[in-house]
Structure 1
Amino acid sequence: MNDKEFESVFSEELFNKIHKMIEEKKLSFGNIAMLLKHMGYWKTMKGMYIDGFIRSLLFERFEEMIAEEEKKKEEKNEKLLVDLCECYLLLSNGHILTNIVSIIVPCLLKATLNREENEETQKEVEMALQALSCIRAESFVEQKLYLNGMREIIQYHQEHHNLTRLAYYSVWEFLLHKLSFERSLKDIVANELHFAREARRELEELTRCVDWIEKDEDKRRKEKEEVIFLKKWIKVLNPYLLTCKIWNEELVGLMSCIVNVFGAAKENYREVREKCIESLKNSAFNKTVKVEDLLKSRAVDLALKIIVQFGTVEKLIAGSVVFFWHICVKLKGMNMKENDEAKRKEMKRMMFEKTEEEGYEDCIVVLSRCMANVTLQSQYYFI
């Protein structure tokens, strides 16, 4: 089902009908919650934006029910509150009101504490974390509400591997959404929780699971879970690679892994390749990333290969040219101190030798042209 089909089915009218059923008690809330969570699951898995819910009467009713249930003390129904919070987040496109953040986040984090090793418990934890991952970057959440809980979830999984693939991805997606506004999170994510290492492990595992040589178009159209998650991981990596200021060997390894994903993906999976090039282009733009990092990760080799072998594929060739443009900015010395002049010349020599020894004359021409004309204004224009 594509975006238009989703929107036509999950319309404002549908959610208003569900609201009416609740009012008239024609369906139990348990059945309604099950239906809404199933809808929300596929909405988030496909990354679709459906605004029928937030425009409906059901949206306002859920906000009221969450607030009312939280006010209760002895008679509070914890299961009902969890169901309300999950449905609300999964279907609301992250449009969460500030006054109920302090209710929803602790409620759903509490739901993840059950570590019984059975499929039902795993699915419950997965749903709670998936719902939390729907909270957008612009929604303010106090760090004290989530940091200790998220840290514990990740570290426990790293030791015991208790989470499903979706649950673990959802934890990271939530944290990465918060990075833009929480500077103190950056060191925790990079050095304490080892995000780059974990992302690389997930990508490597998914790459091994995908049948890259599938030729049946109908089977490819019905994307398998592994391909969906591969795209989701690379998508969430892109802004991180663009802005990360704590660069280490784990990130170089992650870039190398992205190069491998590109190599594994065949023509049938062009979208995966395009996302990989976007990641490498973002890494090259990042001022923290050094030219030697791009060489060590084989990102330069891949960009050279694309210019020679994929010259007719517009998105790939454009991404590769911009990748080299950013390298030229670095080699030009705009991001380097004066005492790095010798290093700059060495990196420049290595870049030209790499292109020349492989016989990529076209790449040398492109690189030379970029270096002759590079300006800061053009740098930002090509982003």
Structure 2
Amino acid sequence: MMENEYSPSVNQAFLEKLSQLMNSTDAEMKQKIEEMNKMIDGMNTVELISIFDDEIFNKIHKMIEEKKLNLENAILLLKNLGYNKTLKHVRIYGFRENSLNERIEKMIADEEQKKDEKNEKLLADLCECYLFLDNQFSIELLSICASCLLKTDFKKEENMETQKEVEMALLSLGNIGYCGDKEEMCFKEMTEIIEYHQEHRNLTHLAYQSAWQFLIFRLNSGKNKNEVIVNELHFGREASRELEELSKCVNWKDKKEGKGGKEEKELLVIGRWLYVIFYFFDSCNLWNEELAGLVGSLVSVFRASRDNHRETSNQCIYAFKTAAERKCGRVDDLLKGGAVDAILEEIRRPTLDDEMIRDCLIIFVALSSRLKEEDDKTEKVERRAAKRKMFDKMEEEGYEDIIISFHEVVGFLNTKYPYVLSFGIFDYFVYI
């Protein structure tokens, strides 16, 4: 961890609050845990990183062993730590070797082996802690966790307590990349959860995004999954609507506080959607008209975020780049959805950074390459029409100026980044 990514004062304050728990009554301990959880909820990314260290987790483990912190309160604290870590996309390493993680793993295995007196609530809590806090999972434990937490997610009540419980379970499941021998069962059950939500709207925005993340991570594990996700569950339509609804709740005009600044929950969920959309564009082998609408929603988020939330706008550009490079994404839909317009606008901005220029140019390189491919006559007609649209866009925005600017930056960027930009890009624009 970099020195400027560490907040020793927050770390020390958190350790002191942990120490205060030891001499508390049960009622006092519960109240203090609630106060600590509110403290965690208010932390920015840098502050949150600072409390994920061995000293704190070793202290929690020791307090549990010495019965100075009961398991129920420890779980309340650990689940909220993990929830914030996952929501705010904080990466930590080394927890796998920590004694607290070893204890959680053993408790999950022991609880699962019980036949008649299994405590399903305790098992679910432990599974969430494990999936939230660890980064490298045992296949055996993943199988246990997936089966256990999918039971939680089938709860249909719409009260706030149940919604929060389901949100926790789905958010933790979204961290799983592979479920072992229960892969097909888990995919089917998560599909049913999404279908139920589409009919009844019983999930929070974060829970629904997490359910989709679980499915999208499985795109490469079976051909039929593409069909289910794209044409049966309508990923493009659903992701587009979610982005639009969440965007209405974000104050895009407010600048973030800087790296790791406090963010609205809706903005964090948008960031998670953008990550999943990128993964979808990178993995999916199907495309339909709803995905053209998704491109338009990405363009709206990009334009709203580019002044004050550059991390979000960068994610949008990266999604466009992936869609342009992957052959399943239609070039014409990138044009109709406004992605090319947005990229041209970005290139003309005076504050554009080098990496953003690089990504924008890569998009044009990819589009140029795909528009020059040899296909059958019908596709050739469509390709020629798309070329003409691209040319018109360039001309509207100042064709000659943009081409000159390309010549000026391509050589420089080739010296700075490993991704080499070919001067062949100009063949497309000049000889269209």
TM-score by length of 2: 0.79
> How far off is 1:265 after superposition?
2.1
Q: Which moved more, 1:236-245 or 1:320-329?
A: 236-245
Q: Structure 2 counterpart of 1:308, which letter?
A: R
Q: Structure 1 counterpart of 2:171, which letter?
A: Q
Tell me how far apart the structure 2 counterparts of residues 157 and 9 of structure 1 sit (CA, whole Å).
36
Q: Which residue of 2 aligns with 1:271?
A: 311
Residue 345, structure 1, aligned to residue 387, structure 2: no
Q: Structure 1 counterpart of 2:172, which letter?
A: A
Residue 356, structure 1, aligned to residue 398, structure 2: no
- Say if 1:338 and 1:79 are closer, same or farther in 2 by CA, change over 3 A: same
Tell me how far apart the structure 2 counterparts of residues 40 and 332 of structure 1 sit (CA, whole Å).
48
Q: Which residue of 2 aligns with 1:200?
A: 240
1:256-335 to 2 correspondence within 5 Å? 256-310=296-350, 312-333=352-373
* Alignment equivalent of 1:68, drawn from 110, 118, 133: 110
* Alignment equivalent of 1:187, drawn from 227, 230, 236: 227
Q: State the secondary structure of the residue aligned to 1:66.
A: helix
Tell me how far apart the structure 2 counterparts of residues 216 and 184 of structure 1 sit (CA, whole Å).
42
Q: Which moved more, 1:237-246 or 1:186-195?
A: 237-246
Is the Cα–Cα contact under 8 Å of residues 250 and 266 in structure 2 kept in the other structure?
yes
Q: For 1:305-348, what per-residue CA distance to the aligned partner results, in whole angstroms no more than 9, with x for missing partners?
A: 222235633333222211111111012216x3476444433332
* Alignment equivalent of 1:54, drawn from 55, 80, 96: 96
Q: Structure 1 counterpart of 2:292, which letter?
A: V
Q: For 1:261-297, what per-residue CA distance to the aligned partner results, in whole angstroms no more than 9, with x for missing partners?
A: 1122251112221111111111111112232122111
Tell me how far apart the structure 1 counterparts of residues 406 and 389 of structure 2 sit (CA, whole Å).
13
TM-score by length of 1: 0.89
Tell me how far apart the structure 1 counterparts of residues 297 and 147 of structure 2 sit (CA, whole Å).
35
- Say if 1:340 and 1:266 are closer, same or farther in 2 by CA, change over 3 A: closer
Q: Which residue of 2 aligns with 1:246?
A: 286
Tell me how far apart the structure 1 counterparts of residues 406 and 386 of structure 2 sit (CA, whole Å).
13
- Say if 1:382 and 1:41 are closer, same or farther in 2 by CA, change over 3 A: farther
Q: Which residue of 1 aligns with 2:276?
A: 236
- Say if 1:291 and 1:63 are closer, same or farther in 2 by CA, change over 3 A: same
Q: Structure 1 counterpart of 2:207, which letter?
A: A
Is the Cα–Cα contact under 8 Å of residues 356 and 364 in structure 1 kept in the other structure?
no
Is the Cα–Cα contact under 8 Å of residues 82 and 129 in structure 2 kept in the other structure?
yes
Q: Which moved more, 1:56-65 or 1:348-357?
A: 348-357
Is the Cα–Cα contact under 8 Å of residues 296 and 339 in structure 2 kept in the other structure?
yes
Q: Which residue of 1 aligns with 2:11?
A: none
Q: Which moved more, 1:358-367 or 1:44-53?
A: 358-367
* Alignment equivalent of 1:148, drawn from 188, 198, 201: 188
Residue 116, structure 1, aligned to residue 181, structure 2: no
Tell me how far apart the structure 1 counterparts of residues 149 and 117 of structure 2 sit (CA, whole Å).
19
Q: State the secondary structure of the residue aligned to 2:294.
A: helix
Q: State the secondary structure of the residue aligned to 2:158.
A: coil
Q: Structure 2 counterpart of 1:18, which letter?
A: I
What is the total number of aligned residue pairs between the two structures? 373
> How far off is 1:13 after superposition?
2.6
Is the Cα–Cα contact under 8 Å of residues 129 and 170 in structure 1 kept in the other structure?
yes
Is the Cα–Cα contact under 8 Å of residues 346 and 352 in structure 2 kept in the other structure?
no
Q: Which moved more, 1:7-16 or 1:165-174?
A: 7-16
Residue 10, structure 1, aligned to residue 79, structure 2: no
The unaligned stretches of length 5 or more in structure 2 are 1-42, 410-416, 423-432
Q: Structure 2 counterpart of 1:134, which letter?
A: N
Residue 103, structure 1, aligned to residue 144, structure 2: yes
Q: Structure 1 counterpart of 2:133, which letter?
A: L
Q: Which moved more, 1:227-236 or 1:355-364?
A: 355-364
- Say if 1:62 and 1:355 are closer, same or farther in 2 by CA, change over 3 A: same
Q: State the secondary structure of the residue aligned to 1:245.
A: coil
Is the Cα–Cα contact under 8 Å of residues 213 and 266 in structure 1 kept in the other structure?
no
Q: Structure 1 counterpart of 2:390, which letter?
A: M
Q: State the secondary structure of the residue aligned to 2:125.
A: helix
Q: Which residue of 1 aligns with 2:37?
A: none
> How far off is 1:368 after superposition?
9.8
